[in-house]
Amino acid sequence: MATFHTTDGIELRYERRGSGPPVYVCHGGPNNICDTLIKDLVPLEDHFTLVFHDYRGSGQSANAPAETYRFARLGDDLDELRRHLGDDPAAVLAHSMGGFVALNAVLEHPGGFDRLALVGTSPCDDPKAMVWPTLRALGPTRTLRALGLLARFGVVWSWRPASLERTNALYAPMRVTQEARRELRAKVAAALPEAPFDNDNAAHLLGHLGDADLRTRLSDVRCPVLVLYGSRDAVSVVGGRMLMDGLQRAEQVVLDDVGHEAFIEDPDATFTALTTFLADPD
């Protein structure tokens, strides 16, 4: 494990793995850390140097002032890490919430990043834009399950103090919208045994997700983008359409009958698409 200090003095943990062209990885969250993707992305280490880091307030990185727990600031941290390590330019691979970090980095520091792979992510989390399209993508059965779990959280957990059980109940409806097909759910659960993590930034980032909307800025992304998601991942189905509508240089890969954890559920198709895209010199 190595560390560096951002321009505002926050110590961030990072790790470099593999060999080849640099690819900076943005993990999901808010209650997650980079170790999850370190395990998931081992097949890419034969082709690329993967650079992982815990966001400020996550995992083994230091806590920071609450007002700096913003996706724009996390994007700045990513670019500062890239410059600290001397990679000019570099590719970015983002999963889930990490898409907001990566998009902010690419938009604000366009010269530093030459390719962007977005896996199971969205440019928008505004409920007004997301709720009804997501429910349509879910279908009636999964919609009823998700709404039932949301109601249960409101009645049983919303008024209780923070705890691991409360956090799990909070995420339960979202997990329905992302779930793998039945025969793969045990495999996915086994790959994520320690989540959720009690990150200092979690409540703040979760609060800002509802305001996150980069749709109007997508046309400013100049580098090539890969948009990859599973057909069972309802939020990413909606977000994938938004990305393809707004980006100028994007290609899309939709994995049939796959949920949110494409690296685990369909590794062959996922890593083939990622390796081909990230290695493309054009």
Say whether pLDDT at 194 is over 70. no
Say whether pLDDT at 192 is over 80. no
pLDDT grade, residue 202 (50/70/90)? Answer: very high
Across residues 50-62, what is the average pLDDT? 97
More confidently predicted of 5 and 166: 5
| Tokens representing residue 133 in the block | 């399209």
Query: Domain of 51: which CATH number?
Result: 3.40.50.1820
Domain coverage including residue 176: 131-193
Lowest-pLDDT range, 59-73, 152-166, 198-212, 233-247? 152-166
Evaluate whether residue 181 is within a structural domain. yes
The whole-number pLDDT of residue 193 equals 62
| Same-domain pairing of 100 and 219 | yes
The whole-number pLDDT of residue 68 equals 98
| Same-domain pairing of 146 and 232 | no
Evaluate whether residue 170 is within a structural domain. yes
Evaluate whether residue 141 is within a structural domain. yes
| Same-domain pairing of 175 and 260 | no
Q: What is the pLDDT of residues 91-114, one digit of tens each?
A: 999 999 999 999 999 999 999 999
Distance between CA atoms of 119 and 20, rounded to whole angstroms?
Answer: 21
Q: pTM, whole model, 2 decimals?
A: 0.95
| Same-domain pairing of 261 and 148 | no
| Same-domain pairing of 28 and 108 | yes
Q: What is the pLDDT of residues 207-260, one digit of tens each?
A: 999 889 999 999 999 999 999 999 999 999 999 999 999 999 999 999 999 999
Evaluate whether residue 229 is within a structural domain. yes
The whole-number pLDDT of residue 95 equals 98
Q: What is the pLDDT of residues 119-145, one digit of tens each?
A: 999 999 999 999 999 999 999 999 999
The whole-number pLDDT of residue 200 equals 94
DSSP string, 140-162: HHHHHHHHHHHHHIIIIITTSPP
CA distances from 185 to 171, 190, 266, 271 (A): 16, 9, 13, 20
pLDDT grade, residue 281 (50/70/90)? Answer: low
Domain count, the chain: 2
| Same-domain pairing of 156 and 273 | no
Evaluate whether residue 253 is within a structural domain. yes
Evaluate whether residue 39 is within a structural domain. yes
More confidently predicted of 256 and 159: 256
**In the chain, % of residues over pLDDT 90:** 83
Across residues 14-37, what is the average pLDDT? 95
| Same-domain pairing of 210 and 109 | yes
**In the chain, % of residues over pLDDT 70:** 98
Nearest to 214 by CA among 26, 67, 71: 71
Evaluate whether residue 199 is within a structural domain. no
Helices (H) and strands (E) in the chain, counts: 11, 8
Q: Which of 193, 219, 246 represents a domain boundary (last residue)?
A: 193
Distance between CA atoms of 266 and 229, rounded to whole angstroms?
Answer: 11
Helix (H) or strand (E) holding 106: helix 98-108
Evaluate whether residue 198 is within a structural domain. no
